[in-house]
Every structure is written in C-alpha cells, then in structure tokens.
C-alpha cells in the first residue's frame, strides 16, 4: 500500500514537469465534480424535505396527530400509528439496549480475543448487521408471530423483530464507546485492587455512558423508520385505537405512510407526505438528542 | 329503485347507529381479507367505533384468499371476500372447527379501466378482454393492435389484482373461463392503488378494479363499457342491480366466524352493519344491497344470534 | 477503599463471575440469532426444494410462484435485483466518493461539521418516505421526462435504482471518508512535498491508499441495495421482468418477499415456502458479500498497524 502511495506521488511530480496550466484546469474540474457531488447529495435531501412539506402542508395540523386513521381522507390522522411506533420502539429499546450493552461489555472488557468462540461472536455480529431487515421479518413470521413463540401479530412480536434488526448496531456502537475509554482508567482501578467487574461498573461504564447513550439512541432510531420486516407480520393494518399492552394489535408510522401511499384516493397523498414529515421530525428529535448528549460529553472532557 | 334505497337510508339513520350503540361494549374484532371490500368495512369499523369507543376493530388487507387462510385457522373473527368461500377453504375451516357465516354486504361492478388519454376505445367485448388477459397471450399480445386490428400501434400495459384476491379469482373465471387462469406478465397487486397509479400513468394501460375505486377517482382513469353480446353496458349501480352488467357484476361478502358472533361486540358489529348498510355503502361509494338482499341478511342474522 | 474491600473478596469475585457469564450469554445470544435465521430459512426452504426442483428454480426464466400453474424460475427477480443494485451503485459511487473526497481532503473542519449532520439525516430517512418520493416525484417528474432511451413505465426499476442509490450515498460517503481519514498524514505530506496538487494527492496518493476501505464500503452499500425492500416494492411495481430495458417494471428478491408477505400466502403452501427459499438466497448473497468486505477491511487494517 505504502508503495502505491509513493508511486502516486511520483506520477504527480511527473505531471508537474510537463504542463501546469493543464493541471490547473484538471484540478478545477475535479473540484467542480466534488462540489457537484456534495451539491446533489444535499440538494436531494432538501428536495425531499421541500417536496414532503409542500405536499403535506394542507394536512400538517394538530388534527393529523389527534385523529385516528379513517376511510374518509378528510378525517384521517395518525394517532394510533404514533402511539404504535412509540410502543414498539420503546419496547425494542428496552430489550435491545441492555442486551446489546451487556454483549458489548463482554466482548470489550472480559472476552479473551484469541479464543475462537469470541472471534466467532465478533464476526457474527458484523454479519448480522448486514443481513437485510426483510430477512428478520421472515424469521419473525416463522418463529415469533407463528411457530415457536406464536405471539401473533402484536406489539411484542414487532418489538422482538426490531430488536433483532438493531441489536448488532447497538453492540457495535456500545463497543466503540467502551473502546474510547482510556486504558489508564482501567489500570488505575485495577491497581487499587478493584475486580475487573468493579472496574467496569464503577469506572469504565460511567465514563462510557454518554457514548453508549449516543450510539444506542442512533441505533434504535433505525427501528422507528423500519418498515420492511413489519410488512410480513401484519402491521399494515387499519387500526383506530392505541395499543394498550404488549399483546395489542398495532400499526406503526412507517406502515401508516405505506397505507396512505397504497390508498387509491388521491386525497390520501398529502396525508402520506404529512405523516412522513411527522416521522422525520421524530427521527430528527432522536438524532438531536444523541447529538446533545455527545456535545455535553465532549464539553465535560475538556 | 336505487334512489329509493339511498333516500330511505338517509331518512332512517344518519351518521351514527341506532343499534349496537348501547355503550359499555368492549372487546376486539379482528377483520382481514379482500382489498376490494376493505374500503367498505373500514368505513363500517370507523363508524362502529365512534359509537362503541371501547371496542377495538382492526381491518387488515391480505386479499380474499389470504383472509380465509387466517380466518380458517382462527386468527380472525371476520373475513372480507370478493367471491364466495371456496370448497377447499371451507373444508379447512371445518377441519379447524370454524363455521363461516356468509353475508352479502354490498354489490360491485368490477370495472375495466383505461387512461383518460386513451381515445380509441370506450367498450370492449368479453372476447377482446380474453385476448388481452388470457394465459395464451403471455408474451404475445403486447400491443393494442394485436387485440383488435382497428386499435392503434400502442404498447399494452396490464395492471390487475394479484392471485390472493377474490377479484382475481372472479375476473379470471369470468373472462378467461377458468379460475386462476391468466397471463402472468401483468403487474399484479393486492393493493388497488398500484393498478390505479399504473393506468393513470400510461396511455396504453388497462386495469381492472372495483367500481368504488373508479368513482373515487373520476378523471384520473376512465371505466370501459363491457359487451357480452347484448351491447355495451357501462359499470354502474343501476346496471349491476338490474342485472345487465354481465359478466362482471358481483356481490361482495363478509364471513363471520359463528363462534365469534356469540360475542356481544361481534354481534353488535354485524347488527350495526345491517342497520347502517345504506349509509356505509354510500360513504364508501359502493353499490348498496337490493331490498331483497337486505331483508335476507337481516333474517339470517336474527336466526343465528337468536335475536 | 482497597483494604476495606478485601474482606469480601470471595463475594466480589462471585458477583464478577455472575456478570461475566450474564454478559457472555448475551453475546452468545447473537450467535443464536444467526442460528435461528439459518434454521427458519433452511427448514422451509428444504421443503420448498423437495417440491420444486433446483433445476427449475435456477434453470428456468419465468417467475410466477403465486399463480396457477406456478412457475419458479428465479432469474427474473435475480435480474431485477441486479439491475436495481447496479443502478444504485452507479448513482451512489460517484456521488458518495465525491462527497468523501471533498470532506476528507478539501473541506475545512467547520464545513465538515456543518455538512455531516445533513448526511446523517439523509442516511436516516425511512425507506418508505424515499419510496413515496420515488413513486410520486422521481419517476414521473424526472425519470419519465428526461430518460433518453425507450419508454419508462409508471413503476420502473430505473427510478427504484436511483432512489436506492440516494439511500446508500451516505453509506458510501461516510465509510469511504473514514478510510481516507485513516491514511497517515505522512503520505499526503510526501505527495505535497513532491509538488502534487491537492487533487493529485487525493487521487494518486490518498485514494489508492484507502482503496481497500473504499471497496469494502462499496460492497457493503451494494449489499444494502440488494436487500432493500420497501423502496423497490413501492417504486418498481410487482411484475418480475427479465429485460434489458431498465425503464420497465421490476421485482427484486427482497421486494418479492415483501409483496408475498403482504398478500399472506396460506401457511405451508408452496407459495408460502417460496418466501423462505428466496429469503435464503438473499441471505446467502449478503452473507458472502459481507465476508468479502470483512476480508478486504482486514487486509487494509494490517497495513497501518
């Protein structure tokens, strides 16, 4: 690799020897290309936001949030979907964060790297992170909704499936946070006679909590926008009540949007856009929470 | 006659329901099935819950076949269907101890639709439909001029119900002569919006869906008249009720699990529908029941619930 | 503190052992998930292949598993997946790499910290929202208007590919940027010292040095495109098509699973089992791609450690 680098530099020198105006032109075009890339990427984001807001504008009012889904577009809202999403994502977080952080502590603080089973776990988590989410939907259909657990098409089923979806990223994010804790802290604690566990519990975890919080918030926010695996377990349903338990029927915001898109009447289209704005708003809320936690943490360090 | 039915409905009971609105009812009614019937039953579910806020009604759309699948293993209380229950389906139900109780809830004119910019056709014969949709046309009939030499040279794009839907079963049986027989190179969907958006977006497209979708989306797509040998008849409430819209006029069904009907909230829902069917069909732009169908429905309900 | 604690050393070690095994169990749980995935796919898929021969599945080119008579030639949905992934990468690679090079080699820190949150937002847009955007804006207003060759349908693989491409731009950008940032400063300085311009250092020094990381990012982004369900389901339609024209309707493996899942096939029927067979193929493909990308990254790491 290093060899390639020097070789490249040599080429650069070679070009320099020939024409410098040509270089300047190429440099300028290259910079233009970079600008255009950045412009398109950010422009697309802005276009999406503008498109959603302008299309959804007529329906962006309190009634959208307070009304239940309805067959009559003028009355339809997304209250049950918002509550459904809160239930499902809340449950997902409640299961995936302790499990994920626990697994991360094991891998980062306790596990011996050279053991084959620890390497297997590590490799496996990386693999799970790249499994398409719809595959988790199949697993959920076969094992959770029906089959082994037979929980039916309920809040808990959805939460378990989404737990599987986000767990690998929760583990990965928590490990990164743990890794960022300086080793001196560990050595100091161990030197004072604390056990490994006490070191983790009293020193490492408190230092890593902001990082873990940021990482896990970002990972579970993925569950909020996820639609594909839930398509397979009956979340695409007309539900006009809020969930009242883990065994309750439910719908979630992304699938309420999917439903609005699938509705034949064109009057539902602004609703799809408006509901998307609400969903993005919730997601950005979670993101800014994560950013807030991170920035507080950074200030503390300084 | 239709006018009379609708008027009677408006006079009888307005938005709310007279029956089943006793309050105090609670429980869950789980409904699944046909996408054609869904718009009708979501209106019913919504209005029912307005007077019975403690009853939870969920309406999912898995298609007629998918709905029966769940119904016959006991996952749902009510199954919506755009065709009668099939023999093998009712055998599955029986094997699982589930007794389906059939109700006709509305009528429908399965409509063949084209793009508004399509200026060369306003009526198709059943044979022409068969040429478009028959299994032997797969990969062959991809242009309007192959359907009929008088049609222009224009790509033919087909959109329609997917194989889980009763609409699919009905359409294939009536147009292609055998249930389930159809070319597979069309764009199938359990969600009729795909058909609608597809036909709206393409001059050469043809699709089929329930009349309510056509009425809800006037201007975006145009329904064609159908000629089954007695001239061109357009799909409408009148032509369905007087029986002239053949072969695509049809009743729509809902199946209750007999056991579930013993539960107060499910019975209340059934009664609510029977009492408010005219308002509901009108709101959902469906073709209401004829007087005869309505009184039959009521008698059946009384018999089963012992009321 | 140490002195006081020594008294309960045994208890303390018990507590430690308890937590160690609890957390170890949680970590092993993740392996259980993989086993569960493999089992839940493999068992029904084996039943599927006892009903449908492998030679039909991989040897014929007509996919209509939910019709009667059913046909199980998987190539149309494999081709749909390939089309959409290829288009997505064609969009995301130049854009994502452009953004990455800009952020890593050109942008000031301030601009970088300004741009990054926007990329994070773009990365976080739910796919159902992107699907809405694709079906009602990208396809009708952009693709159908400006695509120069052939007609584009109301639902098109082309538009789906474009939108999936937008979805994976942040993946390509941020992973590639990480790879470029990991290139030691000394290499760049060497480049500049030899008289290279910023562009020459970026393309001739940093880019090759980060290549393995960039390739891994590409593989990962590609595997996300392969598994994307909702966008393709909404934007590309549901007709499996073996075609050379990207403007036609398409179905990918993932969108077939979503489509069949909504329709709800009778449990145990061949149609139902098809979901698992396709899921297995999808799982195997993404699994292999991931192994490849891990290998590449590993080699890349060794260089600078």
State ipTM: 0.91
* Contact status, residue B47 vs residue B17, Cβ threshold 8 Å: yes
Adjacent-strand bridge partners of B55: B27
Q: What's the pTM value of the predicted model, to 2 decimals? A: 0.88
Is beta strand B55-60 parallel, antiparallel or unpaired with respect to B100-109? unpaired
Candidates C165, C126, C163; CA nearest to A223 is C126
CB contact under 8 A, A240 and B45: yes
Highest mean pLDDT among A104-113, A243-252, B54-63, B122-131: B122-131
pLDDT score, position C7: 52
Mutation test of the interface with chain B: which of C263, C265, C271, choosing the one with the most B Cβ atoms within 10 A? C263
Higher-pLDDT residue of B39, A224: A224
pLDDT score, position B283: 87
With a CB cutoff of 8 Å and minimum separation 6, the contacts of C105 are C180, C198, C201, C202, C206
Question: How close, in Å, is residue B40 to chain A by CA atoms?
Answer: 8
pLDDT score, position C69: 82
* Contact status, residue A190 vs residue A196, Cβ threshold 8 Å: yes
CA distance linking residue C256 with residue C282, whole number of Å: 11
* pLDDT of A233 strictly over 60: yes
With a CB cutoff of 8 Å and minimum separation 6, the contacts of C145 are none
Q: By CA distance, what is B178's nearest residue in C?
A: C68
Is beta strand B100-109 parallel, antiparallel or unpaired with respect to B111-114? unpaired
Q: Which of A239, A262, A264 sits opposite B216 (nearest CB)?
A: A264
Mutation test of the interface with chain C: which of B201, B204, B206, choosing the one with the most C Cβ atoms within 10 A? B201
Give residue-wise pLDDT tens across range A171-216: 999 999 999 999 999 999 999 988 888 999 999 999 998 889 988 9
* Contact residues, chain C, for A224 at CB < 8 Å: 126
CB contact under 8 A, C279 and A107: no
Task: List the structure tokens of B219.
Answer: 């201007």
Local confidence pLDDT in tens for the 305 residues of chain C: 444 445 578 888 888 899 989 999 998 888 999 999 999 999 999 999 999 999 999 988 889 888 878 889 999 999 999 999 999 999 999 999 999 999 999 998 898 888 888 888 899 999 999 999 999 999 999 999 999 888 888 899 999 999 999 999 999 999 999 999 989 999 999 999 998 999 999 999 999 999 988 998 999 999 999 999 999 999 998 889 888 999 999 999 999 999 988 766 666 778 889 999 999 999 999 999 999 888 887 776 545 54
- Assign C148 to helix, strand or coil: coil
Annotate A266-299 with b (16+ C-beta within 10 A) or e (fewer): bbbbbbbbbbbbbbbebbbebbeebbebbeebee
With a CB cutoff of 8 Å and minimum separation 6, the contacts of B189 are B159, B160, B161, B162, B195, C238
* Contact residues, chain B, for C267 at CB < 8 Å: 69, 73
CB contact under 8 A, A139 and C205: no
Mutation test of the interface with chain A: which of C3, C7, C199, choosing the one with the most A Cβ atoms within 10 A? C199
Annotate B237-267 with b (16+ C-beta within 10 A) or e (fewer): bbbbbeeebbebbbbbbbbbbeebbebbbbb
CA distance linking residue A254 with residue A236, whole number of Å: 9
pLDDT score, position C262: 79
Length of chain C, in residues = 305
Give burial (CB, 10 Å; 0-12/13-18/19+) of B307: exposed
What is the torsion angle, in degrees rounded to the nearest 10, for the CA atoms of residue B217, residue B221, residue B227 and residue B230? 40
DSSP one-letter string for C66-118: TSSS-EE--HHHHHHHHHHHHHHHHHHHHHHHHHHHIIIII--HHHHHHHHHH
Q: Which of C68, C155, C263 sits opposite B190 (nearest CB)?
A: C263
pLDDT score, position B19: 43
The phi, psi pair for A14, rounded to 5°, reads -60, -45
Angle at A126 between CA A123 and CA A129, to 5 degrees: 150
Task: List the structure tokens of C8.
Answer: 């309960």
Task: List the structure tokens of C37.
Answer: 């995935």
* pLDDT of A6 strictly over 70: no
CB within 8 Å of chain A, chain C residues 229-288: 229-230, 233-234, 254, 257-258, 261-262, 264, 267, 275-276, 279, 282-283, 286-287
* pLDDT of B122 strictly over 90: yes
């Amino acid at each position: 690799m290093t060899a390639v680098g020097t070789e490249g530099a040599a080429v650069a020198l070679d070009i320099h020897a020939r024409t410098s105006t040509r270089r300047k032109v190429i440099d300028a075009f290259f910079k233009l290309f970079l600008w255009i890339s950045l412009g398109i990427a950010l422009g697309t984001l802005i276009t999406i936001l503008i498109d959603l807001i302008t299309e959804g504008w007529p329906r962006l009012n309190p009634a959208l949030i307070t009304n239940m889904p309805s067959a009559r577009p003028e009355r339809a809202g997304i209250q049950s979907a918002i509550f459904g999403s809160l239930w499902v994502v809340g449950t997902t977080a409640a299961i995936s964060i302790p499990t994920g952080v626990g697994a991360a502590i094991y891998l980062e603080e306790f596990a011996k790297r050279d053991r084959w089973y620890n390497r297997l776990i590590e490799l496996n988590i990386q693999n799970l992170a790249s499994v398409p989410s719809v595959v988790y939907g199949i697993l959920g259909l076969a094992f959770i909704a029906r089959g082994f657990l037979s929980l039916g098409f309920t809040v808990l089923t959805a939460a378990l499936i989404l737990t599987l979806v986000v767990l690998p990223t929760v583990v990965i994010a928590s490990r990164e946070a743990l890794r960022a804790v300086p080793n001196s802290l560990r050595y100091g604690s161990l030197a004072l006679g604390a056990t490994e566990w006490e070191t983790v519990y009293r020193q490492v975890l408190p230092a890593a909590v902001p990082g873990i919080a940021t990482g896990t918030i970002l990972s579970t926010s993925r569950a909020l926008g996820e639609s594909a695996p839930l398509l397979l377990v009956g979340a695409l349903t007309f539900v006009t009540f809020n969930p009242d338990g883990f065994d309750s029927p439910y719908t979630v915001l992304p699938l309420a949007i999917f439903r609005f898109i699938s509705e034949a009447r064109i009057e539902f289209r602004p609703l799809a856009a408006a509901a998307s704005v609400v969903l993005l708003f919730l997601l950005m809320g979670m993101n800014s929470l994560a950013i807030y936690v991170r920035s507080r943490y950074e200030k503390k360090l300084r | 006659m239709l006018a009379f039915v609708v008027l009677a409905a408006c006079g009888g009971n307005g938005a709310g329901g007279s029956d089943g609105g006793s309050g105090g009812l609670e429980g869950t009614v789980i409904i699944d099935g046909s996408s054609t019937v869904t718009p009708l039953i979501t209106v019913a579910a919504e209005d029912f819950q307005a007077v019975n806020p403690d009853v939870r009604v969920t309406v999912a759309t898995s298609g007629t076949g998918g709905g029966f699948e769940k119904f016959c293993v006991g996952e749902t209380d009510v199954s919506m269907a755009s065709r009668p229950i099939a023999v093998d389906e009712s055998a599955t139900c029986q094997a699982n101890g589930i007794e389906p109780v059939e109700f006709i809830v509305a009528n429908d004119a399965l409509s063949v639709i084209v793009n508004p910019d399509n200026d060369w056709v306003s009526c198709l014969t059943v044979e022409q439909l068969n040429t478009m949709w028959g299994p032997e046309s797969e990969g062959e009939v991809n242009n309007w001029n192959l359907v009929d030499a008088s049609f222009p040279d224009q790509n033919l794009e087909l959109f329609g119900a997917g194989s889980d839907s009763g609409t699919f079963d009905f359409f294939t049986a009536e147009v292609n002569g055998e249930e389930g027989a159809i070319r597979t190179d069309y764009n199938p969907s359990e969600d009729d919006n795909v058909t609608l958006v597809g036909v709206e977006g393409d001059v050469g497209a043809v699709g089929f869906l329930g009349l309510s979708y056509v009425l809800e989306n006037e201007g975006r797509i145009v329904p064609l008249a159908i000629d089954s040998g007695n001239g061109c008849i357009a799909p409408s409430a009148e032509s369905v009720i007087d029986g002239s819209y053949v072969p695509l006029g049809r009743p729509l069904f809902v199946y209750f699990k007999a056991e579930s009907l013993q539960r107060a909230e499910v019975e209340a829902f059934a009664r609510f529908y029977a009492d408010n069917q005219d308002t509901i069909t009108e709101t959902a732009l469906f073709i209401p029941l004829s007087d005869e169908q309505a009184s039959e429905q009521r008698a059946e309900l009384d018999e089963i619930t012992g009321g | 503190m140490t002195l006081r604690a020594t008294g309960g050393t045994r208890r303390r070690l018990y507590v430690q052992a308890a937590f160690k095994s609890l957390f170890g169990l949680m970590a092993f749980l993740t392996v259980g998930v993989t086993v569960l995935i493999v089992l839940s796919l493999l068992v029904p898929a084996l039943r599927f292949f006892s009903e449908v021969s492998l030679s039909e599945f991989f040897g014929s080119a007509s996919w209509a598993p939910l019709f009667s008579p059913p046909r199980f030639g998987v190539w149309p949905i494999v081709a749909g997946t390939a089309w959409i992934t290829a288009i997505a990468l064609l969009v995301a690679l130049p854009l994502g790499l452009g953004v990455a090079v800009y952020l890593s080699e050109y942008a000031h820190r301030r601009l970088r910290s300004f741009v990054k949150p926007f990329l994070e937002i773009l990365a976080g847009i739910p796919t159902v929202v992107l699907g809405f955007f694709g079906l009602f804006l990208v396809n009708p207003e952009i693709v159908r208007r400006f695509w120069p060759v052939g007609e584009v349908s109301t639902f098109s693989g082309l538009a789906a590919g474009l939108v999936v491409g937008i979805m994976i731009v942040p993946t390509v950008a941020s992973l590639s940027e990480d790879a470029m940032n990991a290139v030691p400063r000394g290499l760049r300085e060497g480049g500049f010292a030899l008289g290279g311009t910023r562009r020459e250092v970026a393309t001739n020094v940093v880019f090759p040095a980060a290549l393995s990381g960039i390739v891994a990012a590409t593989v990962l982004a590609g595997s996300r495109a392969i598994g994307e369900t909702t966008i393709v389901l909404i934007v590309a339609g549901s007709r499996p098509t073996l075609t050379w024209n990207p403007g036609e309707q398409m179905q990918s493996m993932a969108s077939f699973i979503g489509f069949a899942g909504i329709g709800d096939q009778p449990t145990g029927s061949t149609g139902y089992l098809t979901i698992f067979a396709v899921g297995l193929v999808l799982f195997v493909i993404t699994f292999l791609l991931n192994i490849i990308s891990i290998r590449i990254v590993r080699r890349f790491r060794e260089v600078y450690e």
